Amino acid sequence: MKRFLYLLLLLLIPCGLLSAADGSGHRMMIGYGEGLMELNGKNDIVWHYQDPEIELVHDVWKLENGNVLFSHRYGAREVNAAKETVWDYKVPREKGKQEINACQPLEGGKVMILDCGNQKILEVDRDHNVTLSIDLPDGGKNPHTRYMQARKTAQGTYLISYREKAKIVELNASGETVWQHQLEKTDRPFTAIRLENGNTLVPCITSNRMIEISPGGDIVWELTNEDDLGFEIWYPVGAHVLKNGNVVVINSDYHHREGTKNDVQAFEITRDKKVIWTLKKSDLERGGKVPVVERGTKMPSHHLLGIQVLGESFLLK
C-alpha cells in the first residue's frame, strides 16, 4: 500500500495536481494589488499587511532582520513584523504622473528604486539621500506603462523591463546601454532576471509566455500554453529562480477578462517543464484573502504580482 501511494505521488506532482496544501510548496512573500502576505509551505497565510495608502505592490523582499521591504505606486516602504513602518520613501501622490514599480535591497542598507514618473533608477540610503541617479532611455508617455520591474545584477548593471516598448535594456552605472533585447510586439515584459549562466529570464505578460534569452539574443528556453501543464498560463509576472534551477512563477489574473477561469495563481516549473507545485485560489481564500471585483472587467481577481521564495538567492528574482 505504501509503495502504491508513493507511485501515485510521483504521478501527481508532474501533472501539477498537488498544491502546497499537500506540503509540497514553499515559504513565500507575495505582493499583490492591495497589500502583501507571507505564506508557509502549506499555503497558509501566516502574515498579512494592508494599508489604505498602499496599492500596486510590484515588488516584495523579506530581509534577513525579518523586516519586509516593498514597492507600491507612490513609494517604497519597510515594515517590521509588528507592521510598523521603519523606513519610507515617498513620491507625490499624483496618479498618471508618478509611479514606483520596483525596489531592491542593496548593501549598506541602500535601496534601489525604479522611478517611473521621472524615468530614473535611484539608489537611496537610509537618510533618503539619493547616492546614485541614472536617467533611463525614454519609456513612453504614460508612467504606468513605461516600465515594470528593474534589477541590479551581480555585475553592477541594471536590467529594466520596458512594458510598452516590449524590450529589455541593460545599463551600467553611467547610464550607458551595455545590452538590450527587442521582444515581440505582443510581449509585455514584467521583469528580467540575470541567470548564473549569463542568460536572462523574462516573463512576458500579454503573450502568456516565459523566455530565456542568451547574450546573443537567442531564445534558448520557452514556456507557453503549447506546453501541457494541466492549466493555462495567464499573466506570468513575478518569478524567482531556485537553487535547483526550477522557477516559481506568479500566474496573475490582474485585469484579465477571463480571470474567473484562472485557478492556478502560482506554480513551480522544472527546466523540462514539469509542474512541481501550485498555489490555487482556494488556497488563498481558505487563508482569508478576498478577491477584488475589478471595475473594468467585472471579474473577481486576486491581483498577485511580486514574489519572493524565502531562503533562496536575492539575485535570482
Query: Considering the domain boundaries, does residue 10 fall inside one?
Result: no
Q: pTM for the full model?
A: 0.91
The structural domain count of the chain equals: 1
Percent of the chain with pLDDT over 90: 83
With a cut of 50, say whether residue 238 has pLDDT above it. Answer: yes
**Interior/surface letters 29-66, b for 16+ CB within 10 angstroms, e for the rest:** bbbbbbbbbbbbbbbebeeebeeeebbbbbbbbbeeee
Query: Considering the domain boundaries, does residue 129 fall inside one?
Result: yes
With a cut of 50, say whether residue 177 has pLDDT above it. Answer: yes
Query: Considering the domain boundaries, does residue 179 fall inside one?
Result: yes
Q: For 92-151, how does the pLDDT look when each residue is reduced to its tens digit (9 = 90+)?
A: 998 889 999 999 999 999 999 999 999 999 999 999 999 999 999 999 999 999 999 999
pLDDT for residue 84: 98
Q: In sequence order, what are the beta bridge partners of 147?
A: 162
Query: Considering the domain boundaries, does residue 135 fall inside one?
Result: yes
Integer CA distances (angstroms), 215 to 45, 179, 194, 197, 199, in order: 39, 8, 10, 10, 6
Report the alpha-carbon distance of residue 55 to residue 160 in Å, rounded.
21
**Residue 54 region by backbone torsions, left for phi larger than 0, else alpha for psi between -120 and 50, else beta:** beta
Domain that holds residue 299: 22-316
Query: Considering the domain boundaries, does residue 35 fall inside one?
Result: yes
Query: Considering the domain boundaries, does residue 11 fall inside one?
Result: no
pLDDT for residue 5: 39
Average pLDDT, the chain: 91
Biggest distance spanned by C-alpha atoms of the chain: 64
Phi then psi dihedrals of residue 31, to 5 deg: -100, 140
With a cut of 90, say whether residue 10 has pLDDT above it. Answer: no
With a cut of 80, say whether residue 259 has pLDDT above it. Answer: no
Query: Considering the domain boundaries, does residue 154 fall inside one?
Result: yes
**CATH number of the structural domain spanning residue 66:** 2.130.10.10
pLDDT for residue 279: 96
pLDDT for residue 54: 95
Reference 193, options 234, 150, 222, 156; nearest CA is 150
